Structure 1
């Protein structure tokens, strides 16, 4: 594990603990981190219209949000989780043609640490997220040789005793361009059966929220972090995970 990763992971765990009580009215996932629509900061320009930060400039010295290094931005992202920081990283993507390097850069296990997905209002109520069902971590395994991806979303339900389980979604993908893949939903399942019974009535709603089908652009990837944007406008930030975590 790199020195940077050694610093970032404890920060992430600490922030997770601090934000555990901030889940009212939002989607507390993963590890109860806030997953919400990011506030608008005015008219958003396309990434290819944004000017890259001046080399050597820092946020503190310029006041414009420019950062000294990519590692600085990643450290700030773990602390602040802002779309502006995501865009700063995307501008410095060290792998501009990620689909040419899927086996070495994307293959393996990942953990979702941030997303702009929301589950609010009636959807949240129907799925029981206001009362007795909590969402946990999402892990993703990419099998590049087989062109397959498996997403595992963990749940826990309160009752006479704590019930834990998971939603597993398997998908296939095809490369569409140097940055884009087209994803097709293959199968989905919930285990154990008791948890499936809780979601049975609204299973289609649950799958609709987590359905990965459509296109996904890989906008940033290095050895430890990956950012993607899909055709529904959602942003996903994932970090490398140990193989046994999935």
Structure 2
């Protein structure tokens, strides 16, 4: 069995890490490290054709993301990270489900600057939190087009002071359909291209 298949099998059934036991987290961590050792893209930050696109989160250790599932009555839906290389933009979008007609959305728009062959510095620019219906949310692609067109949403739509909200991300594995990243807060992210 390939290392990639082993990782995908290890994270299956963990609901992006929400349901992972300590033993599963350890196995997943080992599977991630084994796959990172085989990274086929030596300079991932420069591989624009591979980086570009919409990525769906398969697994994370990020408490900030996983805690979105802790809100009473609501459950965490899909989480996307959408990268637009040409504009050096990244959009994090979390779909939240619960009460009918009150499905939510938590999104952060950011800019990134390459600082090495595998690291990007990320500066958060805008946060949008609201009800999907009021925002007019139908898909990550459509939502991003509205953001890029400058639309102000019927939601908690606020600018973020970039000097206080920054971070970095190392891209430690990148191929045609799988990406692994490690963030400045010690979190790991495994994503598949949609």
Distance 1:193 1:98 in 2: 33
Stretches of structure 1 lacking an aligned partner (at least 5 in a row)? 20-31, 42-79, 201-206, 242-246
**C-alpha deviations, 1:123-146, integer Å up to 9, x for none?**
95xx78253121111012100010
Under a length normalisation based on structure 1, what TM-score does the superposition of the two structures give?
0.56
Match of 1:34 in 2: 17
Match of 2:52 in 1: 107
Would you say how many aligned residue pairs link Structure 1 and Structure 2?
Answer: 164
Tell me if the contact between 1:111 and 1:240 (Cα under 8 Å) persists in the aligned partners: yes
Q: CA deviation at 1:81?
A: 6.5
Residue 74 of structure 2 is aligned to residue 133 of structure 1: yes
Q: CA deviation at 1:193?
A: 8.2
Match of 1:84 in 2: 30
Under a length normalisation based on structure 2, what TM-score does the superposition of the two structures give?
0.69
Larger RCO (CA under 8 A, 6+ residues apart): 2
The structure whose Rg is larger is 1
Match of 1:35, SS state, is coil
Residue 179 of structure 2 is aligned to residue 238 of structure 1: no
Match of 1:92, SS state, is coil
Match of 1:34, SS state, is coil
Distance 2:46 2:185 in 1: 24
Residue 178 of structure 2 is aligned to residue 225 of structure 1: yes
Q: CA deviation at 1:105?
A: 1.2
Q: CA deviation at 1:212?
A: 7.9
Stretches of structure 2 lacking an aligned partner (at least 5 in a row)? 136-154
Residue 109 of structure 2 is aligned to residue 156 of structure 1: no
Residue 149 of structure 2 is aligned to residue 166 of structure 1: no
Distance 2:185 2:103 in 1: 29
**C-alpha deviations, 1:193-231, integer Å up to 9, x for none?**
8999xx98xxxxxx9xxx983111000000010000011
Tell me if the contact between 1:37 and 1:118 (Cα under 8 Å) persists in the aligned partners: no
Match of 1:116 in 2: 61
